[in-house]
Amino acid sequence: MVHNIIEDVGFTDLYIIPMGADMVFIRSLSNVDVLQTIELASEIFNHILANFKKWDKIVVPFHRGAWLKLYGISLHAWNESFFKLCVMECGRYL
């Protein structure tokens, strides 16, 4: 989804690699400085990405996403607050 948004805006030379959890690695296919591109178009990228920083070998995702299956829940209870409460003890809602 992030790749499609960035491509729709006009940055077709940026390649998005999912790293797990809610992290992505962005690299340039045309050897352009990605950080400089992000800084120049910060208004656009701030709507897409919550945080961005330069690559470092020690940067790894410290959590993984998981699907949670719940049975017998009334449709009236289905909302974001309810699901956040369900995962409070074991992680966070993505």
Classify residue 39: in a domain, yes or no. Answer: yes
Domain count for the chain: 1
User: What would the pLDDT profile of 32-70 be if each residue is shown by its tens digit?
Assistant: 888 888 888 888 888 878 877 777 777 665 666 777 788
Classify residue 41: in a domain, yes or no. Answer: yes
pLDDT score, position 7:
82
Classify residue 20: in a domain, yes or no. Answer: yes
Range of the domain at 20: 2-48
Classify residue 85: in a domain, yes or no. Answer: no
Classify residue 8: in a domain, yes or no. Answer: yes
pLDDT score, position 22:
72
Classify residue 55: in a domain, yes or no. Answer: no
Cβ neighbours for 46, distance < 8 A, ≥ 6 positions apart: none
CB-based burial label for 51 (10 Å; 0-12, 13-18, 19+)? exposed
